[in-house]
Structure formats: structure tokens, C-alpha cells
A = this chain, B = another copy of it.
Amino acid sequence: MVHMGGLRDSRVRSGNFMSVDNRKPLERADRVTIRTVAAHAGVSVAAVSKVMRNAYGVSDSLRAKVTGSIEELGYRPSRAARGLRGRTFTIGLLLVDIRNPFLPEVIAGVNAVLAPGHYQAMIGVGEARMQLETSLIESMIDYKMDGLILVAPRLPSEIITRFAAQIPIVAVGYHDPTADGFDTINADDQRGAEIAVESLLECGYRDIEMLSQLAREGHKVSVVRQREIGYRRAMQRAGFGSSAPITNIPLQSPRREETIRKFLTRSDRPRAIFCWSDIDAIVVMSMAAEMGVRVPEDLAVVGYDNSSTAALGLVNLASIDQSGRELGQTATRTLLSRIEGRSEAMHILQLPSLVTRRSLAG
């Protein structure tokens, strides 16, 4: 249903009766520009600009006059105009897709670091499509943003390097310790997987399997792959050979459930599993409940990401926490330092930790 509001009013408004000039489509309120401020304060445009950027060569009295006028007129510099010459004091944040439960944490971390300063974040959502991801990065460059944080980008390293020649870039959740054009901030996914396996071993489980995800296009040394490496290493160290079993769960919906069901009914189903992500772990637990497989009595589960859903009493899933918040904070600080001029690449690894819950049968 459609309600239209204020019909009578809008006739008057669109009548625009006071102005004969009807050529301009939208007669938005006159903008307060740096010139308005200069005139109001009785100084030059350059002077106002100096005050804004608190540059050298401004007396206290001038500063007072200008800030007074700025306050009084409610002046805000145009980011568009700034972009044409200097900094915009905006950073771009590119997310793969928003459904991933640990992204909100990253955003919160970014905002926490940015809030005290005059910087702001603009977010783009790539929806896991390389095409869209690329064009969003280009847009952010075209807006002359001061720097970019890419979270779990799908793009290959060479392309990111090429972009990094045009704008400072920090990648989060993207392993490439050899990159020298941009920085990377990661949780130590190998170590995280090891911790997960070790916790299962400590609880006495020996029959362990990993549920993973098939390789995606784009980046080859993906986060998932890192976790597989960690899993295998921990298993080998515990004496289970170098090729501990991994089952891949498809992403699309019909085959996905099918694969999980098959796994749960397998006669040689393992006693414990490590899932590359809570997203999968929770679906497995849900289907297990429906099929009468008890967690943790019949199947112990450890997930990854410590999503808010995992913490729910109904779910109670033990999970590896990689503190997205801290990842976001570190990434932001790293980006700001690069904007300030640093040119050698930094590659930071952060230590994840286990949050133990009922699915692990502490």
C-alpha cells in the first residue's frame, strides 16, 4: 500500500513562487563555504584554511576570530573539495560480505580508533564478487580517500599491490607475508587451529576430523588453508601422521546439507570435529540435534570465530576467538601510520585463544 503525504504542501513548495529562476532543478540551502567564513571573520580564505589545518603562521587573535566565525556559521569543509587537493580524512573499509559474524567486531574496532581523531570510515560491501570488489576499491580511490582497509578480500595479491601503488592499503584476514606494497593484519590462523586441536586432544579425543571449505578463486593462501595447515601440524605432532582427514562442506544450500547429513551418518564418523568456521559448526550441530546425534556425548565440536551465536545457551559452541575488534584496531593504527608516510610493509600476527563451552565437554 502506498500513502502519499503532504500533497497540498508540495504543490506550494514546487511552485517556488518567489523565485522566477526555475532552471535549477534543486534549490538546496546555500552552502556555507570557506569564503563565507573568511568574509564573516574579515580575513582571507587562506587564513581560514590555515586555521582549519592548524598550519604554521597563525596568531592567537586570528585563530580566535576564525574559529568564532566557524562556530557561528556552522561551517563544515566540503570533503569533495578537499579530495581535489589534500586529504579527505576518510578511510575506506571494504568487507567481503556482512553476513560473516566477526565483521561487526572489526568495524567496531576501526571506529574505536578513528573516533577520537577527525577521521571517518566509509564502508563498501563486496558481496564476495571480485568484480564488485574491484569497482568499490576504484571508487574509494576516486573519492580520494586517504587509505583502505580490505577485510578478507578475494583479490589476488598482485592486483592489491597494483592498487596499493595508488593508495595506502592494509589487508585484514589475508595472508601474504611477502607482500611489500601493502600491510597485512591477521590472526595466526595456523596457531588457532593448533589450539583447537590441542584442546580436543586434552579432552581425551583421538578420533578427530576437520570440516573445511573448498578453495575459492582469487587468493591462494587463504585463511581456510592456514587453518588446515595448523590442524594437520597439530595432528602430526600428536602422532596421527601428516595427512589427518579433512571433509569439505560446500557453500550452496542443497549440496551443503546433503554433505553434512552424509557426514553425520557415516559409520566411521569421528568422535570430535574441528570446523573452520562457526557458520559450519552451528549448522552441523543443528542437524546433529535433529538426527539424534548428541553434542558433545556423541560428537565434540570446536568452531572458529567465537560468533555471538556460538555464545547462545542453546548453542553453546566452543570456538576459537580471533578478536575481530583488536584486528580492526590494529589495522586502523597500521593504516594511519602508513598514511603518515611509512613505506616498509608490516605484517602482524595476533594470537587467537580458545573459548571453551559445552560442545567441548570441558
Contacts and interface: CB of A to CB of B under 8 A. Distances in A.
Contact of A345 (B4, B84, B177): B4
Copies of this chain present: 2
A55 interface: no
Contacts of A312: 282-283, 286, 309, 315
A3 B348 CA distance: 6
A104 B99 contact: yes
Interface in A78-110: 78-84, 88, 90, 97-99, 103-104, 107-108
A77 interface: yes
A88 B82 CA distance: 15
Interface residues of A, number: 80
A277 to B, nearest CB: 14
Contact of A313 (B79, B104, B132, B286): B286
Given A99-B104, A123-B122, A349-B1, A25 B341 contact: yes
B344 A142 contact: no
Interface string A112-130: 0001000011111101000
A286 B314 contact: yes
A302 to B, nearest CB: 17
A180 B9 contact: yes
| Main SS at interface, chain A | mixed
A143 B144 CA distance: 11
A139 B98 contact: no
Interface string A134-162: 01101100111000000000000000000
22 contacts: A4-B344, A4-B345, A5-B178, A5-B344, A10-B344, A25-B341, A26-B341, A29-B166, A78-B144, A90-B139, A97-B104, A98-B98, A122-B124, A122-B139, A123-B124, A143-B143, A282-B312, A283-B312, A285-B314, A286-B313, A314-B314, A314-B315
Interface of A: 1-7, 9-10, 13-14, 25-26, 28-29, 76-84, 88, 90, 97-99, 103-104, 107-108, 111, 115, 120-125, 127, 132, 135-136, 138-139, 142-144, 165-167, 177-180, 188, 282-283, 285-287, 289-290, 308-309, 312-315, 341, 343-349, 351
Given A78-B84, A120-B136, A121-B124, 8 more contacts: A1-B188, A4-B347, A76-B142, A79-B139, A80-B83, A80-B88, A115-B132, A314-B315
